[in-house]
Each structure stands twice: as structure tokens, then as C-alpha cells.
Chains A and B, each alone.
Chain A
Amino acid sequence: MVMEHAHPHVHRDDEGSKMGIWLFLFTEVLLFGGLFVLYAGYRFAYSDGFVAAAAEMNTFIGAVNTIILLTSSLSVALSIAALQKGQKRLCMNLLWFTIISGLAFLVNKYFEWSHEIGNGIYPKGPALENMSSGEVIYFGLYYTMTGLHGLHVIIGMIFIGFVLNFIKRDIITSTNFQKLENAGLYWHLVDLIWIFLFPLFYLVH
């Protein structure tokens, strides 16, 4: 008995942990998948309205946000490689860069939404009276899907914040970094969803 206390038997299952996060990511895919099916159905029924509404989108901001998220995905991927090489400082800086990128994305989104709400595009807003039902549905889906995505960006930033703290305290190390990988996988999924949201809402005109 004393021996067991002297040598605690720590069981760690990285593959199991990775499978767990993938299973969770699939539920996320199906959550957004349902909304994409909804988008597809309405786009099929109201393609003229969708094209007219998408023409009002600022493609430039959308493209900038796409580049921001792609770059933040790169920095997460690089942070794992850095930690594996034992470069803890670099790893932490890359993760800070990711969080700041997420923030930049949200700031852009804030200005975009403010602009649209300023133009009267919101539930029962004045602009909706002059719109066809296709356009109204487009903006409904736009706010729902980009809003839900924005929420995921915020959650991803918090997730990475916890991971940063674990790295600082050496709980996540160069030989024990599955938590960092899981945070990375989540962040990449958030990026992937945007890869589809961007063309579907900004480039359909």
C-alpha cells in the first residue's frame, strides 16, 4: 500500500481525449448543418431575394475576417508545433495572437452588425417593410448563423485562455499537450464554419 502512494499510477489516455473532442465537434457540425440545410431550402425557394440581400453585404470586411480566422488557425497549429519543440514562450505568444485575432474578428463583426442595424435591418425594423420575404429570411439566417458562429469564437477564445494558463503553470507540457490540441481542433472547426458562411452570405450575388 505504501508503495502505491510513493508511485502514484497516473493513467492518461490521449487518444480517448482526442476522440471525445471529435465526437463533440460532430455535434457542432450537425448543429450548424441543420442551419445550412435551412439556408439551402430557403435559397432554393427565394433565390432572387437572397441574391438581392447579399448584394448589400460588405465583401471586403467579410474577406478580411476570413483572412483573420485563417491566420488565427495557422497560429494555433504553429503553437502546438512550438510546444512539441519545447519553445514554451513562442507557443504562448502564438496563442495570445490567436485570441487577439478572435477579438479582431468580433470587432469587425460588431461594426458590420451596427451598420446593418443602423440601416433598419432588425426584427420589426423599418427596412424590412420594403423587403421581399426572401430578403427578410436571408437577414434572419444571417443574424442567426453569424451570431451563433460569433458565440463559438468567444467560447474558443475562452478555451484557449484556459489552455494558456495551463501552459504557464506547466500542466500542459511538451509531452502532455492533448488539451492544447483539443482547443486547437475546436478553433479550427470555428474557422471551418466561417469558410462556408463567408461564400454563402457574402459571395452569392
Chain B
Amino acid sequence: MSEHITTETHAAHEVSYGTYVMVWLGLVALTAVTVTIAGIHLGSVTLVAALTIATIKTILVVTYFMHVKFDNRVIKVFIFVCLLIFITIMVLTFSDLSFR
């Protein structure tokens, strides 16, 4: 008895084990860098460096681990809109705090 299955094309893109391990190595290396930079006491540069590295790590996780790179356009637009809302909230908050 064969079931008739309709599937909305599952883009079964296979990512190799090696790619994931390389991304992981990159993430661990960035963690080491951010801890090292924080240890040097660079003042305000520390925060900027830490957030920049955190953003790079996020891009790596979203692109490869969450395989958005291989997802269709709708998901990419989704993420872009969400990011835009979040950045808007942040920019408005900081402009409010800075010009009080």
C-alpha cells in the first residue's frame, strides 16, 4: 500500500560534515579573540570589538548552522524584515538617549 504524498519541495541541500566543523572552528577562534581583546583593557574599544565579533559569529551561525544560505527567498526576506525592525528599535532608543 503506497501512500500518495504531496510535498512542498523540500530543498534537501546536504551540507558536508567538514563545512560544519570549519564553521565551528571559526566560532571557537572568534570566542578566543573576543576574550583576549577584553583582557587587554582597551576601554570603550572593548565593547565595539565585542559586539562586532558577536555579529560576525551570528552571521556564521545563521548562514551555515541555520542554513539560511540554502533556504528560499521568503525566509531570507523574513529575516531581513525582522532585523530591520530590531535595528530600528535600537537606533530610535539610542537617538532618544543621546539627544536628551
Q: Which residues of A contact B (CB under 8 A)?
A: 6-16, 18-19, 22-23, 26, 29-30, 33, 36-37, 40-41, 44-45, 59, 63, 66-67, 70-71, 73-74, 76-78, 81, 84-85, 175, 178, 184-185, 188, 191-192, 195-196, 198-200, 202-205
Contacts and interface: CB of A to CB of B under 8 A. Distances in A.
B54 A73 contact: no
B65 A77 contact: yes
B86 to A, nearest CB: 5
Main secondary structure of the interface of B (DSSP, over half): helix
A14 B8 contact: yes
Given A199-B51, A203-B46, A203-B50, A84 B58 contact: no
10 contacts: A6-B1, A11-B6, A12-B6, A12-B8, A23-B78, A29-B82, A40-B94, A70-B24, A73-B61, A191-B61
Contacts of A45: 97
B29 to A, nearest CB: 11
Given A7-B2, A73-B61, A77-B65, A22 B75 contact: yes
A199 B62 CA distance: 19
Interface residues of B, number: 54
Given A14-B7, A73-B65, A203 B34 contact: yes
A15 B72 contact: yes
Contacts of A30: 82, 85-86
A19 B72 CA distance: 10
A193 to B, nearest CB: 10
Nearest to A203: B38
Interface string B29-40: 001001100110
Given A11-B6, A40-B94, A81 B82 contact: no
A199 B8 contact: no
A101 B31 CA distance: 18
